[in-house]
Structure 1
């Protein structure tokens, strides 16, 4: 009965709209698209010319939005009257929102950035915008006017940060006020027009309970990771691109005691630590003359003079790996960093390569000894076929046997199959190995149940 009534109401609404189109009250969809575009451009142009900046100077975001909405409605009424066109209330509301996004937001992608279900926004030139939702890519119907429109949005993002982008420096890493990571590339490097890639971060940082609910980690694995951070184990978080390394790093850092002094070092500040005693540092690009660049390695070296209890490096990519290892070996226990790699073993191989990038002439065995001495635990994370993120290995660095660093897996993720819905089916399992640092944790009062390491049936 309800369904039939809804159908009849929908039919009546459609008939009414058709009649209004025929009478000239509402334009048809084809012509309306061009009218909307024309009116938006006129209203935005007049808004920029007429808005009183003094009126909104000291207002917060909500007050500015309300103020602009009133101005836009007046201009919209004026132009619709001149054109003899009437838009539906929903269309007027949408136009007002889009103009506000152009005036004080980030243009057409503003609604995507406000959607909490979207984890990544990818602008591939003015006519193609993709998003990532639930680990899967989707093409949207959102478009920019032209290349200059995309460039304007990029400038709006990077200008408050003191960053620049032009033909002499056509790439930039930046961040939004909420900490979301932004990468932008413009022609001549980006052939099909300026590109923007935005990795969004939650306003409320994820906790361990969230990762457990997402199926990223099991409860027992979470207990071990929490104990490892509280017990000042040096942790290396590895994984591929978009595997969730930074999110995991942020969750791990949440277990650091509030009484400790923490120094974070990143290319673009993303970490959202809740502790009161945190010093955040960010690398800097060279200026127009090619001078003034401050690299991650420079910041790591400087951080050693800042009396940190722990150093957290967003990601090691080069020679800073050597300084990070030395910090871990010289009293900064409990430090954490991330690295791009394909497996726990590959994490160590890449770390060794990065130490060589520091330009020091060290024998391979010496480098491996430093790595084995510095790193206690490797947390390896992967992005699976269905878009889900899983911590697939928690691996202890045991020591050296000859010239080889020995590892032992403590927890694994076993993938069984893909079900009929394309979802990965698997489970987290302990290997039965009790880590060597378990005794050390007990000795300093960090307790974790012995039973979490036992295989099912043991």
Structure 2
């Protein structure tokens, strides 16, 4: 490996660029044999190790993530964030840290962002200066170009989980017992929290607990859920093409999923008008439905759902009427910004007050090693006999 890196460093950037241009003109893949032929055409003499190193560099630049390729392949990395050519950060589960990776210029960051967007069938240019897309392998891409990004091109890559975790790997004993009981009782629930708190990872682990005879219908913007379960059907939203047509929304997919005989309807992330169809579905005999939702606290969930549903055309009274009958529990996650550790902070039940509006009432809080009971714990135990 060391000799290959040394060999790659001997190749002048001008030579690597000449080989890149030659391969781009022919449209050929940057295989070692074609790189060797291009090097000979440029009258450059290198050994096998150097040719392989240059081939890897060119493949990363032409069809991979360029200088970010090694970061994306590193164990434990969940996010790679580029704030211009000289600031590349990663999160490997212990919080964000700055890396030594850099780009020659902002133009190089821009070209990489545009190439990744094009690979996902999306447009990224001055007329459309931002993009949100999914790459091959499930990597989530978000990019913003100047002048929208004031200082430099910003690029965010979020990797899907490399493997499915068990519930016990994610959550300590008492919380895991409660979550297992919620799944066993087929309560309808939402997992909530901020960005990076592990909502999708926990939902995958909980869905893995569903009995093998159940049929799981997963509706997602980007296929991220990976439950260990024998009967999973995945539906994935599709953005409009370059002409602005052909898009398929989450709301479209929720409606289709209801016609596919789901035992559990799962919406990977509730973020728009699909909340109307989800609430309606959970009110018509589809027990055990679940999903994730961005929220700062469990108490913020009812007003957050209210805002989404009202924007989709429901009245406030109709939202709370459906909400009280559709959803049972909220499982809220938090993340320590200093250590990067994630945890279940509380489990709440949704309760309709005499005013007719729904609130989130704590049942169990996990801010200390011993769970703290809340006013809704007797009701939760009545629904879930497995909770001691």
Tell me if TM exceeds 0.5. yes
Q: How many residues align?
A: 380
The verdict on how the C-alpha distance between 1:51 and 1:102 changes in structure 2, with shifts beyond 3 A counting, is same
Which residue of 2 is the match for residue 388 of structure 1?
341
* 3-state secondary structure, aligned to 2:353: strand
CA contact (8 A) 2:79 2:158 kept: yes
* 3-state secondary structure, aligned to 1:321: helix
Which residue of 1 is the match for residue 369 of structure 2?
427
Which residue of 1 is the match for residue 321 of structure 2?
369
Q: CA RMSD in A?
A: 3.2
Q: Which runs of 5+ in 2 are unaligned?
A: 1-5
Matches within 5 A, 1:407-418: 407-414=360-367
* 3-state secondary structure, aligned to 2:371: strand
Q: Shift of residue 159 of structure 1?
A: 4.0
Q: Does residue 313 of structure 2 align to residue 354 of structure 1?
A: no
CA contact (8 A) 1:181 1:270 kept: no
Q: Bigger relative contact order, structure 1 or 2, given CA contacts below 8 A and separation 6+?
A: 2
Q: Shift of residue 330 of structure 1?
A: 0.9
Query: Based on CA coordinates, which of the two structures has the bigger radius of gyration?
Result: 1
The whole-number CA distance in structure 1 between the counterparts of 2:348 and 2:387 is: 18
Q: Which runs of 5+ in 1 are unaligned?
A: 1-25, 54-63, 212-216, 415-425, 443-447, 451-458
CA contact (8 A) 1:175 1:270 kept: no
Which residue of 1 is the match for residue 3 of structure 2?
none
Q: Does residue 159 of structure 2 align to residue 200 of structure 1?
A: yes
The whole-number CA distance in structure 1 between the counterparts of 2:123 and 2:164 is: 29
The verdict on how the C-alpha distance between 1:192 and 1:234 changes in structure 2, with shifts beyond 3 A counting, is same
1:272 to 213, 226, 233: 226
* 3-state secondary structure, aligned to 1:356: helix
Q: Does residue 157 of structure 2 align to residue 241 of structure 1?
A: no
Q: Does residue 231 of structure 2 align to residue 295 of structure 1?
A: no
224-233 vs 401-410, which deviates more?
401-410
The verdict on how the C-alpha distance between 1:285 and 1:241 changes in structure 2, with shifts beyond 3 A counting, is same
Q: Shift of residue 439 of structure 1?
A: 3.8
* 3-state secondary structure, aligned to 1:401: coil
Matches within 5 A, 1:20-31: none
TM-score (norm 1): 0.73
Q: Does residue 168 of structure 2 align to residue 225 of structure 1?
A: no
Please list the CA deviations of residues 403-457 of structure 1 after superposition, one character each: whole Å capped at 9, or x if unmatched. 343544232232xxxxxxxxxxx53524176442434444xxxxx252xxxxxxx
Which residue of 1 is the match for residue 15 of structure 2?
39
Q: Shift of residue 156 of structure 1?
A: 4.3
Q: Shift of residue 376 of structure 1?
A: 1.0
